[in-house]
Amino acid sequence: MSSSTVDVSVLGPVLNEGRTIHEVVGAMTRQRIDGTVEFIFADGGSTDDTKAKLEQLARADPRIRVLENRRRGVASGLNVCLGAARGKYVARMDGHALYPATYLRDGIERLERARDGTADGSVAWVAGPQIPEPRGRVAAAIAAALGTRLGQGGSRRWQGASRTAQEYELDTGVFCGVWRREDLITKGGWDEDWRCNEDSELAARFHDVGQRIVCMPMMAARYIPRGSFPALWQQYLSYGIYRAKTARRHPRSLRRSAVLPPLLVLNAAASLLAPASLRRLPRAGLAAYAGALSVATAQAARQKEGPTDVVDLLVAAALLTMHLANGVGFLIGCARWGVPWRALSHVAGGGGEYMPYRGPVHAPSLQPGRG
């Protein structure tokens, strides 16, 4: 395919996705769109058969290309794909999610409406919500936890954020999406200093220049949650670490709800380590959290089959894992990069002039036109 004949490039960073890669790529290649599509995968050094399976698929489908992601991170993998992309539009599709057959078409049509004046021209990023699709008992508990407000943490990227609107606004809580390639190149791609939370950091740069991000329920993707509590802990620990880093660079990106997990961790520590005379208040805070946890687990249990006490226990364990891991991670991020005081001041309602980030973007894997 020449660059003039490719309408959209799908970017797919992958690492050890061998168990589901055939199913995921099959869903990708069944996209219904009037135009040409290429699928670019950047393998981050998988130790399973992910790369071999992708190369086999590429031999059968010339639209598929498999590249090497030497830096191994998600952001670097996205930049490798973006540098090789030949489409006017690009879309991110992850290896642990299944996308509707009209995902690309719906996203591109929305961007086209923004450009031709029939819709607000400031829309530059179109995404869909996440629908957890569990594979196993623990994953089912995690999916149930993500169906509660306590599990969603104020993010609107999850299914159910809006049940009536055809589209709604997103802040920096995003999941994949469709863009004009020129927009991503102009912004320097994904910052590879972000091992996690890379889409949120990029979203903040879009907001900084007045561009909008919208979520369209029709583009909902089925997301496969982690299958064990250790994997969930590591996932949310990384989220917390890099949420603190994002808040340092983009103070307005921090939600009030994002401050609650580190407060929970500090509260728990104070209830154990503070002088006896000062433990009453943090313990009251823990009691309030326990009450909220009970309400959320009861809500989730009513929607699930099986023994209620077992569902309650697993969902409560999932929520507690998410919150503690996220809180510990945020505190680690503060220790590593400094406390995001301006972000905390913004959350607390403090004033002051906001200065959008205008510094460099570290993207050594992005080499436009190399494909």
Give per-residue pLDDT as tens, 316-348: 999 999 999 999 999 999 999 999 999 999 999
CB 78 within 8 A of CB 13: yes
Asked if pLDDT for residue 52 goes beyond 90, the answer is yes
Least Cα distance to 178 among 240, 88, 251 occurs for 88
pLDDT for the residue 219: 94
pLDDT for the residue 158: 79
Cα 218 to Cα 32: distance, rounded to the nearest angstrom: 14
pLDDT for the residue 132: 87
Higher pLDDT, 116 or 65: 65
How many CB atoms are located within 10 Å of the residue 289 CB?
Answer: 19
- For the chain, the average pLDDT equals 90
Least confident of 133-137, 144-148, 283-287, 309-313: 309-313
CA distances from 362 to 75, 237, 248 (A): 10, 23, 16
Distance of CA 41 to the CA centre of its chain: 18
Segments making up each domain of the chain, as ranges: 3-127+160-219, 245-347
Strands 37-43, 130-132: pairing is unpaired
Cα 10 to Cα 35: distance, rounded to the nearest angstrom: 13
Asked if pLDDT for residue 161 goes beyond 90, the answer is no
Least Cα distance to 239 among 172, 312, 307 occurs for 172
Fold classification of 3-127+160-219 (topology level) = Spore Coat Polysaccharide Biosynthesis Protein SpsA; Chain A (3.90.550)
Cα 92 to Cα 178: distance, rounded to the nearest angstrom: 7
pLDDT for the residue 147: 87
pLDDT for the residue 223: 87
Asked if pLDDT for residue 371 goes beyond 60, the answer is no
Least Cα distance to 342 among 333, 359, 331, 355 occurs for 355
Cα 18 to Cα 25: distance, rounded to the nearest angstrom: 11
> ∠49-368-219 over CA atoms, to 5°?
65
Asked if pLDDT for residue 240 goes beyond 90, the answer is yes
Res. 292 pLDDT band, cuts 50 70 90: very high
pLDDT for the residue 93: 94
Cα 52 to Cα 59: distance, rounded to the nearest angstrom: 11
pLDDT for the residue 310: 53
CB-based contacts of 183, cutoff 8 Å, min separation 6: 124, 125, 206, 211
pLDDT for the residue 157: 83
